[in-house]
Amino acid sequence: MGWARSIINRPAYSNHQVVLLTHSYLNYKNEHIEKEKYDLDDANYGKSVWKKLVQPSKNIALVFSGHIGAANDIKKHIGFRIDKNSADKKVNQMTFNAQALGGGHQGSGGDAWLRVLEFLPDGKTVKVKTFSPLFALSTSIQDMAWRKESFDEFDIQLE
């Protein structure tokens, strides 16, 4: 965490927006993950990543993570929350992990669901969409290739 913070806080990056990609950060209840069942000491799960790196950093704008899920329950594969960092700026935090959809962990590998992020030219808006190229291949299920629920298609506003 200290090394990452030292890079992010370099003067050369003070006017940059940082996107952090991590693991085991946010659960489906939109809570920072505190601990998992693994026998690890001093692991940096979501809550400690927030406290040690994200919250004190003035220029982390987005945090993306995965790892969570329950077989065939779409809502247990996603999470989203916005918190303020030490500079009182919004930090958008999103979890997406579809690996247990489409038959569970032994199934079709999540039906190839992807999160598509479109960063608009205004520099402030990120359009989020959820797409399966697997479903798009077949004319009989193409209409299911783009998920349209509000938790699967939304905009993120950056500061």
pLDDT digits (tens, 9 = 90+) for 101-151: 776 666 677 888 899 999 999 999 999 999 999 999 999 999 999 999 999
Higher-confidence position of 40 and 84:
84
Assign 43 a pLDDT band (cuts: 50, 70, 90): confident
pLDDT, average across residues 63-92: 89
> Is the CB of residue 18 less than 8 Å from the CB of residue 47?
no
> Is the CB of residue 158 less than 8 Å from the CB of residue 17?
yes
- Predicted TM-score of the model (pTM): 0.90
- Other Cβ atoms within 10 Å of 158 Cβ, number: 17
Question: Residue 31 pLDDT > 90, yes or no?
Answer: yes
Q: Say what the pLDDT of residue 38 is.
A: 72
Strand-pairing partners, residue 82, are 92
**DSSP H or E stretch at residue 133:** helix 133-137
Assign 77 a pLDDT band (cuts: 50, 70, 90): confident
